[in-house]
Amino acid sequence: MGPRILIKIGGQAFEGEEGFKDLARAIKSNPDLQVIIVHGGGAEITQALKDADRETVFIDGIRVTQAEDVRIVEKVLSGTINTRIANRLTANGVACRPMSGKTEHLIIVEPLIRGNREFGFVGRIKQINANVVLSTLKNRRVPIVSPISADINGDSYNVNADNAAAALATGARCTDLVFLTDVPGVLVDEQTCLLLTAQKAKTLIADGTIKAGMIAKLESAFEALEKNVPRVHIARWQGPDTLGNIIAGKCTTGTTIHK
């Protein structure tokens, strides 16, 4: 088996169709590489909720998701965005299987409760059934995973895409977890830090050097590393050589985090 890599696509990591054309080229030029894709869609969710006159409330960076909201979120993530990514890759010669955390019970969740605070239909991951993606890879198709998942009763829950990516990378025994973002990596003193240990990253969070949205992404990275994913990368897409460079450990951009 060649390297197995999970790519989480977030923010404006890819602008339009050209980025996906590059990604397809990268996947096809590494035939031994097994690729799983997880995606988010925060900006489009916020706009869809706004269009439906639904107020967006965040607590500790987590989007509170009521029953009316989760239907909209699921439509955006599992419908619009998931289909768009699969169609663009398929159009460029990459066989895909669109799916969500609900597909064949891939991700089973329970309601997230933190510090006695309830977040509505926001899920905390309880179980990963990785055979759903592994069988797809065996059939030489790329799983395109929306993080919308379900509890044991089949009710839909919104799941943070970074958390879903870390849990799925762990369950599928991936060699690398890659967060593709619209930022160049982890910044320290306005410079991208190419290599970080998990312990050093935790120190930089504790002293306030690393802050805001990067903390949540790094917490997902720590979770994956603690559960034996060897390397986690936070990077901006740099063209079709990006994946090959990451696998070969030749990253000249972005940040690689290891134990």
Number of domains into which the chain is organized: 1
CB atoms within 10 A of CB 135: 13
Are 165 and 179 contacting, i.e. CB atoms less than 8 angstroms apart?
yes
Q: Which residues contact residue 102 at a Cβ distance below 8 angstroms, ignoring those fewer than 6 apart?
A: 78, 148, 149, 150, 154, 156
pTM of the model: 0.95
C-alpha gyration radius of the chain: 17
pLDDT at 15: 67
Q: Are strands 142-146 and 96-100 parallel, antiparallel or unpaired?
A: parallel
Q: Give the CATH number of the domain where residue 186 resides.
A: 3.40.1160.10
Residue among 216, 58, 79, 52 nearest 156 (CA): 79
Token pair listed for 148: 């919308």
Write the pLDDT tens digit of every residue in 235-257.
988 888 888 888 887 767 789 99
Q: Are strands 142-146 and 176-181 parallel, antiparallel or unpaired?
A: unpaired
**Model pLDDT for residues 167-187, shown as the tens digit of each residue:** 999 999 999 999 998 888 998
3 touches 32 (CB < 8 A) = yes
Full domain range(s) for residue 240: 4-258
Paired tokens of 213 = 């949205």
Percent of the chain with pLDDT over 90: 71
Q: Which residues pair with 31 in a beta bridge?
A: none
> What mean pLDDT is reported for the chain?
92
- What is the C-alpha to C-alpha distance for residues 16 and 21, in angstroms, rounded to an integer? 9
User: Residue 60 above 80 pLDDT?
Assistant: no
